[in-house]
């Protein structure tokens, strides 16, 4: 039985003896730093059952616990909070329980556990990944890792938007202006090459609009009648009709893009268990709509289009089939969700998509529920804010997007520049330095993005993120490397158990913080928030650096002090490494 359960049972028993009333639950919280204590019993919820002054009630319960539980050495009451001081031996004992686990904080899922599917990335095949995709990928991948660590089976997936008018725009521009060039002939990554033709299409389109307006058309007419747009629309119709030439061109250019995407994913350190393709899924859901019509969930308008009326739920009317019988995105998402739950017998499905799609997912989940799918309540939209740079917003059509590969390279270059200025890498080979620059640069990028609550918009400053002080990835990585240096110089013996060791306040505070890690993982999984892991790790590192500055480790007075503090440093290192693994961040052994 853990200490909290022990105190809970004793408190319930004490309340029964002191006040002759039955309670079945006790509310705990960590004691605030400004007060003495390790665990706090919140008295206020008890006032519904026990009438009286909360300070007097807390004092009576505190006296009872001190007399009846040897694990309680002292207590104090602040207003309605009973702060309990635990015996130091408990912390040493708990520490030696934790130090056995290299996978500390991770729960192994039961074989019967259903899977959670996390969808992220989901790019279009007409352009390379950009800064917005970076937040999406880092967030989705980290949430998947955190849920997995909490004891669930996880399926990481993406749906690739590989069809539609935007794809045909790149294809047509390549046919018109490409002169047969390929990634091999240009030396460009395939996604960048195709993205260039998306930009080329837009330039040609704008030029044609300008010419049509000069010839007397309104801007609205010109936008609809521009010859290059009409050709792109014709190409889409040919693709849908299975035209051999168009389909072959589509396959060729998409293969270039996939190869490019995979290189970026590898750089970012993210992966997927299964890819879905819109070209395979865009017809899904049409049969479900027909079923919904027969059940009265949907209704048909005079023009033959099919809709659902959600006005009673505070939303609006939503189209699910056009009058010509073609599907819309909502139709496809309905069918894909059903297919995924059928294919994998999922416990839940999490969509990592920007907050501009909040309304779409509200409608999607409500439609699924109205269609009778009880698992609709277990679909979640992991909504996140956009990412801005100090230079402003991004526009992919105009080619002003912050390319993901370029940003990753810039982060590595910035890490190199700052590391060389600080002179931290003496004695490293050129290869070791390059590897470390990449680890620091990517760590800075990932941490800066993931430390922010997903719902908040981010202003990302590359230089600010690579700082060896403050709440940054490099600061935490540097502390980890410092710990590894201590372990190399000292004698680490994990079999040595110093049960009678008298810990000081700094050691006790560190152990308390380490103990909170498994609970933080569970909380982060429940809230789909890597920010909780990131900021927990920062607080742990601050705590450790305070300990390091004030407490001798390798130069400790006694052997027992040296052994225990080396063990404690090791456990902090394990916790940092495990936490950063959930954020997809590597930690260097030397720095």
DSSP per position, 345-368: -EEEEEEEEEGGGHHHHHHHHHHH
User: What pLDDT was estimated at residue 501?
Assistant: 93
* Domain 3-86 CATH class label: alpha beta
Q: Give the pLDDT confidence score for residue 312 in this predicted structure.
A: 94
Q: Collapsing DSSP states into helix, strand and coil, what is residue 329?
A: helix
pLDDT score recorded for residue 392: 52
Residues 6+ apart with CB under 8 A from 259: 183, 189, 190, 191
* Contact of 449 with 138, CB cutoff 8 Å: yes
Residues of the chain with CATH 3.30.1360.70: 3-86
| Ranges for all domains in the chain classified under CATH 1.10.730.10 | 404-582
Give the Cα separation of 409 and 392 in Å (integer).
20
CB neighbour list of residue 397: distance below 8 Å, 6 or more residues apart: 198, 199, 202
Residues in CB range of 406: below 8 A, 6 or more apart: none
Please, what is the Cα angle at 386 between 147 and 281, to 5 degrees? Answer: 65
CB 538 within 8 A of CB 511: no
| pLDDT value of position 419 | 82
The reported pLDDT for the residue numbered 395 is 44
Tell me the C-alpha distance between 392 and 459, whole Å. 9
- So what's the pLDDT on residue 2? 73
- For the chain, the residue count is 591
* CATH superfamily to which 404-582 belongs: Isoleucyl-tRNA Synthetase; Domain 1 (1.10.730.10)
- Least Cα distance to 507 among 578, 560, 574, 569 occurs for 569
Low-confidence ranges of the chain (pLDDT < 70): 1, 391-401, 424
pLDDT of residue 111: 76
Quickly count: other Cβ atoms within 10 Å of residue 155's Cβ. 18
Q: What are phi and psi of 487, to 5 degrees?
A: -65, -35
């Amino acid at each position: 039985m853990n200490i909290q359960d022990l105190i809970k049972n004793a408190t319930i028993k004490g309340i029964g003896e002191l006040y002759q009333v039955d309670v079945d639950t006790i509310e705990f919280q960590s004691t605030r730093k400004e007060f003495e204590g390790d665990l706090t019993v919140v008295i206020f919820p008890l006032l519904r059952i026990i009438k009286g002054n909360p300070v007097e009630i807390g004092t009576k319960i505190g006296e009872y616990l001190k007399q009846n539980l040897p694990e309680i050495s002292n207590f104090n009451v602040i207003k309605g909070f009973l702060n309990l001081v635990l015996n130091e031996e408990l912390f040493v004992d708990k520490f030696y329980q934790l130090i056995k686990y290299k996978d500390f904080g991770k729960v192994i899922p039961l074989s019967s556990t259903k899977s959670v599917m996390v969808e992220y990335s989901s790019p279009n095949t007409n352009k390379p990944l950009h800064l917005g995709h970076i937040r999406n990928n880092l967030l989705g991948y980290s949430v998947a890792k955190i849920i997995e660590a909490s004891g669930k089976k996880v399926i990481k997936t993406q749906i690739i938007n590989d069809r539609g008018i935007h794809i045909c725009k790149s294809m047509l521009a390549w046919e018109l202006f490409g002169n047969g060039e390929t990634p091999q002939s240009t030396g460009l990554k395939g996604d960048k090459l195709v993205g260039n033709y998306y930009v080329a299409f837009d330039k040609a389109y704008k030029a044609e609009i300008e010419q049509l307006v000069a010839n007397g058309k309104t801007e609205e007419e010109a936008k609809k009648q521009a010859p290059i747009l009409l050709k792109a629309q014709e190409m889409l119709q040919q693709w849908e009709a299975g035209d051999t030439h168009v389909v072959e061109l589509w396959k060729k250019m998409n293969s270039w893009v996939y190869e490019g995407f995979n290189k970026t994913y590898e750089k970012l350190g993210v992966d997927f268990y299964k890819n879905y393709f819109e070209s395979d899924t865009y017809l899904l859901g049409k049969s479900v709509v027909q079923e919904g019509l027969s059940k009265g969930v949907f209704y048909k308008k005079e023009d033959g289009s099919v809709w659902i009326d959600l006005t009673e739920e505070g939303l609006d009317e939503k189209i699910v089939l056009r009058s010509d019988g073609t599907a819309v995105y909502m139709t496809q998402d309905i069918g894909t969700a059903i297919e995924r739950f059928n294919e994998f017998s999922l416990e839940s499905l999490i969509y990592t998509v920007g907050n501009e799609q909040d309304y779409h997912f509200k409608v999607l989940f409500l439609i699924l529920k109205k269609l009778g799918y009880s698992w609709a309540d277990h679909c979640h939209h992991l909504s996140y804010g956009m990412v801005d740079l100090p230079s402003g917003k991004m526009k992919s059509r105009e080619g002003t997007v912050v390319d993901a590969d370029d940003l990753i390279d810039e982060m590595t270059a910035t890490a190199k520049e700052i590391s060389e200025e600080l002179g931290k890498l003496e004695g490293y080979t050129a290869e070791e330095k390059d590897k470390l620059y990449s680890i620091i640069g990517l760590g800075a990028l990932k941490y800066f993005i993931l430390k922010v609550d997903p719902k908040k918009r981010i202003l990302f400053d590359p230089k600010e993120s690579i700082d060896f002080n403050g709440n940054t990835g490099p600061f935490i990585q540097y502390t980890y490397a410092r710990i590894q240096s201590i372990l190399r110089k000292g004698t680490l013996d994990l079999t040595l158990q110093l049960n009678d060791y008298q810990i000081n306040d700094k050691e006790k505070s560190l152990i308390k913080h380490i103990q909170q890690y498994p609970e933080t993982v569970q909380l982060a999984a429940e809230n789909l928030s890597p920010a909780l892991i990131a900021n927990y790790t920062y607080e742990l590192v601050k705590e450790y650096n305070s300990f390091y500055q004030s407490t001798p480790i390798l130069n400790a007075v006694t052997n027992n002090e040296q052994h225990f503090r080396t063990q404690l440093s090791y456990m902090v290192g394990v916790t940092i490494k495990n936490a950063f693994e959930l954020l997809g961040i590597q930690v260097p052994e030397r720095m």
